[in-house]
């Protein structure tokens, strides 16, 4: 049996839908399981039970302090080994993201998995095209057309549509033996910048430095943990670390990835606009 954790999440639910569409039986694990799902909450390790699971897709909880994230993942890996899971697939972070503050718990978890006694596949996911626009915002001054405020400078990201990453994960889960001890770098085939998004939408960009971005985040009442995460993302993009493209994704998809610019622009259009005084 295949199990996918974080079943109510956007990525995991897309993986489950993709597996079901391919006629491959799979069960979701969730903190709030719906019918047919199993209870999985990494913060309650004693409750974890992977009996009967052959292939486990471990999707980390995300947005946790490093020590907590590592403890969650370590417990899940140890219990998977105890319960007889034979192949563990882990959604990690692209190597190009090593300077991101969120990278460390991923790298520690990869080591734990590689030493865990099960066969494994690491899916080093690139940045979702859906969140490429997260550091961007709209501003509008009186009657002037709205423009994009960006802390990203000339930086670009080889972003990937979440659905493509879900399809790649489904391909691995449907044939785990064909992907043993492989680390896939699932970045996009083209890099997208704030100027590209603005060009697609026919608007201007106002570039801001990281200091002004910090003030924007703090002024918006964002929790401190998330502020440092967003600043780290903006700085890493701005300094060019996430622009490198790769071939692993098209190879797992069996074709070209979705255009990340179209996805990023669509998300940006839906973002609220604020008036600048």
- Distance, in Å, from the CA atom of 229 to the CA atom of 101, rounded to the nearest integer, reads 6
- Provide, for the chain, the percentages of residues in helix, strand and coil under a 3-state DSSP scheme, each rounded to the nearest 5: 40, 20, 40
Query: Residue 102 CB, nearest distance to ligand NAP (Å)?
Result: 8
Q: Which is nearer to ligand NAP, 149 or 237 (CB)?
A: 237
Q: Does 31 bind ligand NAP (CB under 6 A)?
A: yes
Q: Which is nearer to ligand NAP, 10 or 82 (CB)?
A: 10
Cα-to-chain-centroid distance, residue 56: 18
Strand locations in 40-169, DSSP E? 55-58, 87-93, 119-125, 137-141, 147-150, 156-157
Q: Strand 156-157 vs strand 192-193: parallel, antiparallel, or unpaired?
A: antiparallel
What angle separates helix 66-82 from helix 103-114, to the nearest 10 degrees?
Answer: 20
DSSP tag of 47: G
Q: Which is nearer to ligand NAP, 125 or 235 (CB)?
A: 125
| Residue whose CB is nearest to ligand NAP in the complex, by number | 9
Tokens of 156: 């670009």
Q: How far apart are CB 8 and ligand NAP at their closest, in Å?
A: 3
Least spacing, CB of residue 22 vs ligand NAP, in Å: 20
With binding defined as CB under 6 A, does residue 95 bind ligand NAP? Answer: no
176 makes contact with ligand NAP (CB under 6 A): no
Q: Which is nearer to ligand NAP, 60 or 147 (CB)?
A: 60
Decide whether 147 or 164 has the Cβ nearer to ligand NAP. Answer: 164
* Radius of gyration, CA atoms only, the chain: 19
Of 111-119, 124-132, 149-157, 244-252: span binding ligand NAP (CB under 6 A):
124-132
Which positions lie near ligand NAP, rule CB under 6 A? Answer: 5-12, 30-32, 40-43, 59-62, 91, 125, 127-128, 131
């Amino acid at each position: 049996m295949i199990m996918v954790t974080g079943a109510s999440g956007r990525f995991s639910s897309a993986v489950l839908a993709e597996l079901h569409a391919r006629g491959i039986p799979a069960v979701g694990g969730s903190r709030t399981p719906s019918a047919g799902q199993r209870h999985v909450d990494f913060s309650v390790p004693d409750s974890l039970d992977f009996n009967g699971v052959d292939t486990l897709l471990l999707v980390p909880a995300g947005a946790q302090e490093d020590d907590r994230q590592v403890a969650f993942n370590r417990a899940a890996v140890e219990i998977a080994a105890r319960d007889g899971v034979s192949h563990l697939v882990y959604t990690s972070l692209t190597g190009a993201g090593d300077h991101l503050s969120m990278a460390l718990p991923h790298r520690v978890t990869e080591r734990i998995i590689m030493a865990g006694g099960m066969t494994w596949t690491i899916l080093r996911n690139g940045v979702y095209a859906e969140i490429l626009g997260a550091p961007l915002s709209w501003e509008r001054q009186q009657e002037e057309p709205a423009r994009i405020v960006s802390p990203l400078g000339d930086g670009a990201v080889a972003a990937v549509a979440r659905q493509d990453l879900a399809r790649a994960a489904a391909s691995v889960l449907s044939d785990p033996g064909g992907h043993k001890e492989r680390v896939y770098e699932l970045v996009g085939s083209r890099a997208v910048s704030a100027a590209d998004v603005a060009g697609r939408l026919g608007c201007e960009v106002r570039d801001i430095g990281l200091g002004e971005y910090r003030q924007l985040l703090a002024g918006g009442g964002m929790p401190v943990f998330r502020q440092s995460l967003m600043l780290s993302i903006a700085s890493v993009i701005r300094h060019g670390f996430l622009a490198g493209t790769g071939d692993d994704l098209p190879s797992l998809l069996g074709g070209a990835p979705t255009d990340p610019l179209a996805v990023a622009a669509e998300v940006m259009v839906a973002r609220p606009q604020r008036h600048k005084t």
